[in-house]
Amino acid sequence: MDGEAQKKKDGGQKRGGGQKRGKTLLCLLYIGMVIGLCLLPFAAMGIRPSTGSTENKVLAGIPALREGNAWNLDFLADAGAYFQDHFAFRQELVAADAKLRSSVFGVSAADNVIQGENGWLYYAATLDDYQHKNGVSDRMLFNMAHNTALMQEYTELLGKTFVFTIAPNKNSLYGENMPGRYRYTVSPQSDAERLLFWLEKEGVHYVDLFALFAGQEETLYYARDSHWNQKGAVLVYNALLDACGIPHETYGEIPYETACTYVGDLNRMLYPLWAEPEDEVYFQKAFTYEYVKEGATVEDTLVETVCGGREKNLLMYRDSFGNSLLPYMAEQFAKATFSKVVPYPMTDLVNAEPDVVIVEKVERHLPTLGEVPPQMRAPARTLETKAVPAESHTSLQAQKEGGYLKLTGVADASCVDGESRFYAEVTDGGQTAVYEAFCVRLDENGTSSDYGFLLYLSQLQITGEELQVSVIGEKDGGYVKLCEEKISVP
């Protein structure tokens, strides 16, 4: 090889070597950048940790190496949970991920939020109701209606007005913006629709908000919140007070302004930082009611209000749908008590001295009516005929709960009718009385049954240390004795 050729070869090798070193340097820089970005949320925790959350969750606390006198064997898992909740720029990254998924792929980044069409958001927990899927049994529907009827009976025996209503899930009324892949139903009716028959059969004083909202031309729920808007709240408020026979301001002649200021709950869950506000209605009328407890808010579990110039008192058992109702209701009653306590403590009917009792339950939580009945003294009953003993595998347990003796058990479904009520014949110190139980869903030996029963006996009624209890059900127009046991009073 001559000298000129050798020079060209050496030059080519040098250029090739330089290109390889350049590529290696770029690779190292890229790897370093990726590692740096990965480490940044951890490294910056000392400067800017995430200390809050808009995702409706409790953040993990700082893990401890030792718990008492022992090593914390879950330290690494606890540390991982702490980092997941507190790494730097968490809210910004969560919001960016949510925006990317919704804008590009049209899906939600939050498991509990459904990304709908036209900017609408829906609560994922309402999907079964929307699709009429995983519905409860007819027996459970009976339980729910019957327990509500017993609550109504107790209220009306005290001379008070009782009204029950269901707050519809948003997609039960406005499902046109649900994603196309979810627009199907498994059964002809939802649980709320099926329950209507049983409420009527049990004689429950019910205000049908499904029909009420369906009759309105205007959309009365927020697009990016799970609740009705202020106009919807006024619609419900008017319907409830009309049903109670309470004269009230209707807000029909009250002017209002609209401003794009409201940030909904689903909006905050999905977009912790960049949630877009939507229109809110502001009625031009000043409220005069006052909170009894300073600093109280509509979010509190128990809220008491007073308002001058009013005559009647209100007790309202409610959930988050009652938040927007509270100001309108409070303005119409001399004293109003708003409670989210479950089970409903019916001693409130004495303590709060209400003239009106309203129970509002959101559609997606309807099964709790047949799972966690009100806490109240069981009503006394007189059976028309004597109960016939049955070969039954029915359980019975007793425990103390507050000022009550709580009796629970699961009846043998094969021995009773599908709409059987349950009773407890209680002998105490030679005196015998019969009480009616709530019909509930209970778990026994890992199996759930809709033929459970639950009743509360006031300990003020009990004189002895031992009770003779017979559980009685209904069968073919008569009564059957399902079990008989002696119960030691705790």
Instruction: Give the tens place of pLDDT for each residue, 145-155.
Output: 999 999 999 99
> Alpha-carbon distance 335 to 316, whole Å?
11
> Alpha-carbon distance 164 to 369, whole Å?
12
> Alpha-carbon distance 388 to 367, whole Å?
32
Indicate the pTM of the whole model.
Answer: 0.82
pLDDT over threshold 70, residue 198: yes
Tell me the three state secondary structure of residue 416.
Answer: coil
Nearest-10 Cα torsion for 144, 146, 148, 150: -150
Q: Name which residue leads in pLDDT, 9 or 468.
A: 468
> Alpha-carbon distance 270 to 109, whole Å?
7
> Alpha-carbon distance 490 to 403, whole Å?
11
- Could you give the angle at the alpha carbon of 350 between the alpha carbons of 349 and 353, nearest 5°? 75
The b-or-e profile of 190-229 (16+ CB within 10 A means b, else e) is bbbebbbebbeebebbbbebbebbeeeeeebbbbbbbbbb
Helical packing angle, 138-157 and 191-201, nearest 10°: 50
pLDDT over threshold 60, residue 98: no
- When mean pLDDT is compared across 93-102, 277-286, 453-462, the lowest value belongs to 93-102
Q: Contact at 8 Å (CB) between 485 and 469?
A: yes
Return contacts of 156-159, CB within 8 angstroms, 24+ apart. Answer: 158/349
Least Cα distance to 141 among 76, 195, 86 occurs for 195
Question: pLDDT (tens digit, 9 = 90+) per residue, 377-433?
Answer: 999 999 999 999 999 999 999 999 999 999 999 999 999 999 999 999 999 988 999
> Alpha-carbon distance 297 to 304, whole Å?
10
Angstrom CA distances, 129 to 124, 126, 193, 224, 470, stand at: 10, 5, 10, 19, 38
How much is the pLDDT for 87?
A: 57
| Predicted confidence band of residue 109 (pLDDT cuts 50, 70, 90) | very low
Q: Which residue has the tokens 């905050």?
A: 268
How much is the pLDDT for 10?
A: 56
How many Cβ atoms sit within 10 Å of the Cβ of residue 411? 29
Which pair of structure tokens corresponds to residue 34? 């990726």
> Alpha-carbon distance 415 to 264, whole Å?
50
- When mean pLDDT is compared across 60-64, 159-163, 263-267, 486-490, the lowest value belongs to 60-64
Mean pLDDT of 86-106: 57
> Alpha-carbon distance 457 to 455, whole Å?
7
| Predicted confidence band of residue 108 (pLDDT cuts 50, 70, 90) | low
Mean pLDDT of 335-347: 97
Share of the chain above pLDDT 70, in %: 84
Beta bridge partners of residue 423, listed in sequence order? 436, 472
How much is the pLDDT for 294?
A: 94
Question: pLDDT (tens digit, 9 = 90+) per residue, 219-275?
Answer: 999 999 999 999 999 999 999 999 999 999 999 999 999 999 999 999 988 887 777
| Predicted confidence band of residue 45 (pLDDT cuts 50, 70, 90) | low
Most confident of 25-34, 53-62, 80-89, 456-465: 456-465
Length of the chain equals 490
